[in-house]
Structure 1
Amino acid sequence: MSEQMLATFRQRQQTAAEETVYHTQCPFCSMQCKKKVLEEKQGSRLRYRTIGVDNPTTKGRLCVKGKNAYQHAVHPERITSPLIKVDGAFQKADWDEALAVIQENLEKIQDTGGRDAVSLYGGGSLTNEESYLLGKLARVGLGTKYVDYNGRFCMSSAASAGTKTFGVDRGFTNRIDQIPDAKCIILAGTNVAECQPTFVPYLEEARQNGCFLIVIDPRETDTAAMADLHLKVKPGQDKQLARLMERYIVENELHDEAFCRERTNGYEELLQQLEDAELDAGETGLRLEDIEEAAYRFAFAPTGMIMTARGIEQQVDGHDTVRHFLHLLLLTGNIGKYASGYGAITGQANGQGGREHGQKADQLPGYRSIENPEHRRWIADVWGVQESDLPGKGVSAYEMMERMDEGEIQALILIGSNPVISNPNANLVHRAFSSVPFMVAAEMFMTESAAYADVVLPTSSYLEDEGTLTNVEGRVTLREASRELPGQCRHDWQIMMAVAEVMGKADYFAYEKAEDIFNELRLASRGGKADYYGISYERIRRQSGVFWPCPSEYADEVETLFADTFATADGRAQFLTEPTAVEGAKETIDAAYPLYLTTGRTMSHYLTGEQTRRSFRLAAREFESYVEVHPDTAREHGVRSGELVTLASRRGTAVLRCVVSDEVRRDTLFAPMHWGGRQNINRLIDRTLDPACRMPGFKRAAVSLHAAAAGD
């Protein structure tokens, strides 16, 4: 070997020795793409590369967010020590000092205001272990009924609709790899091309196999560009559209009557409703022939799937709307068989698992109900407490903000969420956070919400925090994490344990690692609708993920749910026979507010952008918010592309950059929801909530549009 070759070999050896590999998965959307992050030390500098890792759901694919996610984990703005607010300014502290402040304030508030004066607010990106522990901390550690999480604004319509219709809510009723064999697919209110890009190859394969793709969206998105039929529906008219499709299918005898009579309840009532209903295609903003073609294509196809997301779910009648799309599956018999079924395309990393194990106001682990005495006894026994000591049902996420504003809730522990940006009627949230006497936030960064806190606790990133997450198709995955915690950071589960300890409940929170929490979760979920009992870390590693329900370690995974029976008490699916939504609850346009506003996500950012905006590559792609305006609308309102414009609703205003585009309807504006401050579009959203699931109407608000004033 020559001297030069030997030197090169030694250099490579040295480089390899200084390379650290972190095996993990993306912290963002529900596809939960597996990857490894390579950290290379070159002198005093660290460089990073991200490589996709093969897995059953995403086959090693990554999107631009997943490739750059490491950048927020290593960002210099990370909070790495506890912070205590003194005279309006944060000062660094150690853990003992921070926990002493928390103990003193929580004890004082509960002594004077009762146990329910304290609240907890979680997030859909927490691991299953941390979601579980948040609910336990609320009910055992603090004894409060007030606990909920930001997934209330994400999946609650689909969750409640699936539960009422099928008896259980699991995001997909089929495995994702069945999609390529579906011959007709309806994507209702989902822009997967930007929100879940690694999902798209399944749709592309289906189209290559002859699938007819229908996309329902007020905008001409990249997803709509894939469609054979794009229904550019007026915001908020999705339920009307679904009912028109139902009626066409029934009137033209394209439905599976045998399936409806043998496997559903409420069929006759539905037929009568459709016969009596006054349905006007004009209200949807669509041509009747296009609606009828969609109905015919879906009913005629031998296999069909319907997938919904926030576009139809984030409505004040989101529960009813999703149920009417589920009616299309029941009417045609496209459920419980291969390549036919329902998919709720979850938005957050653990949007599925996060809503199964107890951080919702009305829920206990395993999808048990906090109002069911038998369910309460089971969980009380697992936790080693008296059933009578468990609190009752609280209220939804936004309603907790109202309780703070009214003074009923006097303390908040916030973990994994940024409500100041993500909640509707954001001005009220600002007011509530300004007035609540004591607030704790566990955060990586000083978010808009954390800035209101009295104590900020430094928490771990996805590269450091091991735990399970449940992906879009109901597969429980294990996120390995080996990067050392920076500074004084702790995992969210360790933070919750510390709070429980200072509140005198350490004996109920004795865990050494995340796996210990998961093993307790398994027992707590046993026999519930979301049964994880047969899942273990070892089995997840061996099988690259395990689907629930999994009642025992020997249980086979079910590839298609509801093949023989539904998860309801009598085994039959339920048609919606009595609407839950109040007609006329949706905001309407008028002379003062003549345009509809609908909101959504973009390719480069995630949720309130606190993590993605700290990725220089992602921030460079989209560094400010914007509003899409149709050219005719722009001329009518005197605004031009590139200039700042003011949007106003009955709640507040936002100032955004105008983007003129004919991809949006003339009567509709679109703005993303990832920015705060004057760009916070949720300032404009009404507080009206769906009566069944407490979902706000993010996807339809009446607004005005004009050029921004010089001061704006």
Structure 2
Amino acid sequence: MSEKLINTKIDGKDYQFPMGMTILDACESVGYDIPTLCYLAGIAEEGACGMCVVEVKKARTLQRACVTRITDGMEITTDSSAIHEARKTNLELALAHHPLDCMTCDADGDCELQELAYRFGIKKSEFLVDREAFESPKETSWDTNPFIQFDPQKCVLCRRCVDACENQALVEAIGMAMRGSESVVSTPFNVPLEGTDCQFCGACVQACPVGALVEKPRIGKGKIFNLEKTDTVCAYCGTGCDISLYKDKKNNLVMARGIVDAMPNKGRLCVKGRYGHEYVNSNERLTKPLIKENGKFREATWEEAIAYTATRLQEIKDKYGPDAIGVLGSSRCTNEDNFAVQKFARAAIGTNNVDNCARLCHASTIAGLGKALGAAAATNPVEDIKNADVMFVIGSNMTETHPVIAQFVKENKKKRGAKLIVCDPRKTDLAKVADIYIQHFPGTDVALLNGMMKVMVDKGLVNKEFIEAHTEGYEEFVKVVSKYDLDRVSTLTRVDKALIEEAAIVYASALNATIFYTMGITQHSVGTDNVLSIANLALVTGHIGREGNGINPLRGQANVQGSCDMGALPDVYPGYQKVADPTAREKFEKAWGVRLSDKPGLPVTEFGDAALSGHLKAIYSMGENPLMTEPDITHVRKGLEALEFLAVQEIFLSETAELADVIFPSAAAYEKEGTFTNTERRVQLLRPAREKPEDAKLDWEIVSLVATKMGYPMTYRNAAAIMDEVASLTPSYAGIHHWRLEKGGLQWPCPTDEHAGTKILHYGGDFKRPNGKALISPVEYIEAKELPDSKYPILLTTGRILYHFHSGQESRRVKVLDTFVPRNYVEISKEDAEELHIEHGETVRVSTRRGSIEVETRISDKPMKGVVFISFHFREASANLLTNAALDPVSKIPEFKVAACKIEKI
């Protein structure tokens, strides 16, 4: 049904607009320029400044265009002497208490107040208080944090920062205090900003139209008109936020902004997106190739380092065979980098021993969703969150791992009334605002989900029509879930059975329900079973293949999805085409001009054992750091030390690089042209925001040089040429080229150059399995491999925190992030702390059967009794000295989330 159009006159001209539009939107849509100061579409729409006033016939006063709706027959005048004087007066009122220090203000050239003053010819406010100078800045609640500077004297009380915090960040850390001329932006009771729920996302800074709010790290780094702007993609988590980076004349990145209206983030950023670019400026960057001699590195020329590496790899290949070599791609690197490295492994070396760090986070997603649905990827786009009536979040601390997506989830709950169900062993920030929160014992996800689905079966809440038309396996599934009565499930999960039943009814009864999960589901020895159970949940209710529904595994690094799409996996070529499939193999053999192995290779989680047993003699690593990210890293170190040769491409001297025989300095993500594929399958174009170090090279370029030196020529003109080869060999990427991405990202599958991309997978029940039907699998609950006992009575779970990232190579070289959270800690419940006589902030020793670390304690309400949490970002106290290397038998992912430990006072 089309929108009702109403007749309106603007400056004497007739127009028709949809009913309900504001005057501002209507005028701007047909080219009228209405000045604003306090207004931000969808964020701040309060009409506080009065800059947008217009005349409306028969109205007694001027109307504020941003908050006044058009009506049928309305006659609007946008420019007259009365309007001009009113706008000028309102502007002078805003300037009355504003210092005129533009020449030394960091917002100079990026200040909307300055621009309006120029437009209206105002040099000095008529209302300016007669004083020689403004008072010295007063101490505020913002002064103690390292991220944001607030100068109240420059504040024009437009409320944009307050509204951005409330409506965009969904935090409400700040508000308006006092009244009248004493009004000021403040935290509650003027407590320090870090004492609020603020996540330092910088939404307030980006919303500020003047210089009242500025990112502290960019102060004094140059006026915006002297900075060079580049639009690219954030290189941290898999959300794929579009970001503008600003470079100074010294080639340093100094500022970041979210790109308004760009998908998927719509201008939002998190603290790492806002501040985390600083690591590329570090003086710790690798800038020269290094070769180790007598246990020490020396600088080498590129020609020498390439020749040395090619010779050593060829010698090992000739002596032991190609499968004595392992190759690692990286989710921190581009699609083009990962395509090149897997081609290098398969065509130049001759092995399928190629993997990437997705093995450690979403290998079980690939196995589980691939088996159930035929496609191992998120089904729905981020923008589709707004169409969900129920959001089911399990095993995902979304506010810390994917903060921007968490904002959309909270926005859907707050503004549209959607229900939020959170299942997590930790009481995360998102759990605190959930309608239903289930705090289940780590490792009991299958039992919990089976219990929920038994409720659905028993109460007739399954979608029988969908099941019959679009699935298979339901009968065997029912036989299994029938054994999971709520009494049993409650005992296993330690959750009240009434809560489990309520969650089941709410999810199943929703018109539209969507699921989100991350590594709280995947990083288990039963990770594949967990994912299959999530698929079952969506399939038996029919909550898939439609808007507002689906399954969304959120990717932890910028290119987890893309590195797998590119075939940096031991059993598939690009596009998940099986190496054991003769037809697929023949296609790639013809394209690459070589014979290819049909034997699936080793996953990275088996590289260490293979090296210790003598089967693996060399590893070539592109951007990976297994000595921080693998479980039981003492064992992994022994494996790497047993190798005959280790080559590493890196931007810093990582823990793994320290063991290498040769190191190649590579370009960072913000120095590259190429593509990332984000968590919603959106292929996005990266553009270099700064020059790479003079003697560093692009990752795909380094790999190509080594391959060529080994006798297999790999020559590409640029990254775009690599993507063209990807398109020629990968059906889901066939229509994706750099020239198409200039206008915006495309979601695969995109089978032709004319195709617009696919927003929703399996639309209408079209699954990618051979018979077109999804598979509902019977899944039995299996205990974790290592549970607490008398010697190790506490359960340890690990994960990420908001202010750091992965192995810490990048985020710990960002001063504000490392200053704010400089060391690791163990999160422990008040009950456990009391039993162990441990105080908050005390240093303790945490031990498992594999090792021990010393960390500070944080007594918190997040973990349940008997469970502690430690992040894995800190090399000085690495959680992965403790974690269990037990593997999922299908996906070969380790059990990071469950290990038995003990805690001792020091």
Band the TM-score falls in, shorter-chain normalisation: over 0.9
User: TM-score when scaled to structure 2?
Assistant: 0.74
Mapping 1:142-181, distance limit 5 Å: 142-171=349-378, 173-181=379-387
Residues 1:513 and 2:721 are matched in the alignment:
no
Q: Match for residue 575 of structure 1?
A: 776
CA offsets, 1:272-321, max 9 Å, x none? Answer: 22224564311101110111110011011111011111011111101111
> SS at the partner of 2:327?
strand
1:359 alignment partner in structure 2: 568
Q: Which has the larger radius of gyration?
A: 2
Question: Residue 688 of structure 1 corresponds to which residue in structure 2?
Answer: 886
Identity %: 32
Distance 1:15 1:203 in 2: 36
How far the C-alpha of 1:577 sits from its partner, in A, is: 3.1
CA apart distance, 1:469: 0.8
The correspondence for 1:607, drawn from 806, 817, 822, is 806
* RMSD of Structure 2 on Structure 1 (CA): 2.1
Pick one of 895, 898, 906 that aligns with 1:697.
895
1:76 aligned residue (276, 280, 283): 283
* Structure 2 letter corresponding to 1:487: E
How do 1:499-510 residues align onto structure 2 when only pairs under 5 Å count?
Answer: 499-506=706-713, 509-510=714-715
Deviation at 1:487, TM superposition (A): 2.5
* Deviation at residue 198 of structure 1 after TM alignment: 1.2
Structure 1 residue 12 displacement after superposition: 7.8
CA deviation digits over 1:203-248, x for unaligned, max 9? 1232121211011111111121221111111111111100000101
Aligned to 1:34: 242
TM-score by length of 1: 0.93
- The answer for the alignment partner of 2:411 in structure 1 is 205
SS of residue in 1 equivalent to 2:669: coil
Consecutive unaligned residues in structure 2, runs of 5 or more: 1-99, 111-221
Amino acid paired to 2:258: G
Task: Report the counterpart of residue 554 of structure 1 in structure 2.
Answer: 754
Cα-to-partner distance string for 1:147-192 (whole Å, 9 max, x where unaligned): 1111101111112111111111122x12221111211111011111
**2:425 equivalent to 1:224:** no
Q: CA deviation at 1:15?
A: 6.2
Q: Tell me, yes or no, if structure 1 residue 25 matches structure 2 residue 25.
A: no
Q: Distance in 2 between matches of 1:16 and 1:252?
A: 61
- SS in structure 2 of the partner of residue 688 of structure 1: strand
Contact kept, 8 Å, 1:595 with 1:669, in 2: the verdict is yes
Q: Point out the more displaced range, 646-655 or 663-672.
A: 646-655
Instruction: Identify the residue that residue 650 of structure 1 maps to in structure 2.
Output: 849
Which of 454, 459, 476 lines up with 2:661 in the alignment?
Answer: 454
User: What are the equivalent positions in structure 2 for 1:394-413 lying under 5 Å apart?
Assistant: 394-413=601-620
Report the AA paired with residue 574 of structure 1: L
3-state SS, counterpart of residue 248 of structure 2: strand
- Deviations 1:561-605, CA, capped at 9 Å, x for gaps: 2223211111111011366x8x34521111001111111101111
5+ long unaligned stretches in structure 1: none
Alignment of 1:112-261 (within 5 A): 112-171=319-378, 173-207=379-413, 208-261=415-468
Match in the other structure for 1:281: 490
One-letter identity of the residue aligned with 2:760: T
Choose the corresponding residue for 1:104, options 311, 315, 326: 311
Comparing 461-470 and 268-277, the one that deviates more: 268-277
Structure 2 distance, partners of 1:487, 1:5, is 39
1:343 partner amino acid: N
Kindly indicate whether the alpha-carbon contact (under 8 Å) linking 2:253 and 2:278 is maintained by their aligned counterparts in 1: no
In the TM superposition, what is the alpha-carbon distance from 1:88 to its structure 2 partner? Answer: 1.1
The answer to whether the Cα contact below 8 Å between 1:405 and 1:428 also exists between their aligned partners in 2 is: no
Q: Check conservation: 1:315, 1:698, Cα contact below 8 A.
A: yes
- One-letter amino acid matched to 2:831: D
Shift of 1:392: 2.0
Instruction: Identify if the C-alpha distance between structure 1 residues 6 and 652 changes in structure 2 by more than 3 Å, giving closer, same or farther.
Output: closer
What corresponds to 2:623 in structure 1?
416
Q: Is the 8 A contact 1:309 1:345 kept in 2?
A: yes
SS of structure 2 residue aligned to 1:588 = coil
- Tell me: CA distance 1:275–1:378, structure 2 relative to 1, closer, same or farther (3 Å): same
Pair 277,15 (structure 1): closer, same or farther in 2 beyond 3 Å: closer
| 1:521 partner SS | helix
How far did 1:412 drift? 0.9
Amino acid at match of 2:416: N
Q: Which one of 250, 263, 275 corresponds to residue 56 of structure 1?
A: 263
Distance 2:444 2:788 in 1: 14
State whether residues 50 and 68 of structure 1, in contact with CA within 8 Å, keep that contact through their aligned partners in structure 2.
yes
Contact 1:319 1:692 in 2 (8 A): yes
Partners in 2 of 1:297 and 1:668 — Cα distance? 28
Change (3 A) 1:473 1:12: closer
Structure 2 residue aligned with 1:673: 872
Deviation of the 1:6 alpha carbon: 14
Name 1:444's counterpart in structure 2. Answer: 651
Instruction: Measure the CA separation in 2 of the matches of 1:431 and 1:105.
Output: 21
Quick one: structure 1 residues 47 and 676, their matched pair in 2 at CA, closer, same or farther if it must change by over 3 Å? closer
Name the aligned partner's letter for residue 291 of structure 1. Answer: I
Number of residues of Structure 1 aligned to a counterpart in Structure 2: 689
SS in 1 for 2:671: coil
Deviation per CA, 1:442-490: give whole Å up to 9, x if none.
1111111100001111000122111111111111111111522213100
What SS does structure 2 have at the residue aligned with 1:260?
helix
The residue number in structure 1 matching 2:165 is: none
Aligned to 2:745: 545
Match of residue 294 from structure 1: 503
2:524–2:784 Cα contact (<8 Å) kept: no
Question: 2:243, 2:893 → 1: CA distance?
Answer: 33
**8 Å contact from structure 2 (residues 888, 894) kept in 1:** yes
Aligned partner of residue 590 in structure 2, secondary structure = helix
Paired residue type of 2:678 = N
Tell me, yes or no, if structure 1 residue 616 matches structure 2 residue 815: yes
Deviation at residue 251 of structure 1 after TM alignment = 0.6
1:648 is paired with a residue whose SS is: strand
Between stretches 631-640 and 282-291, larger displacement belongs to 631-640
Distance 1:280 1:32 in 2: 37
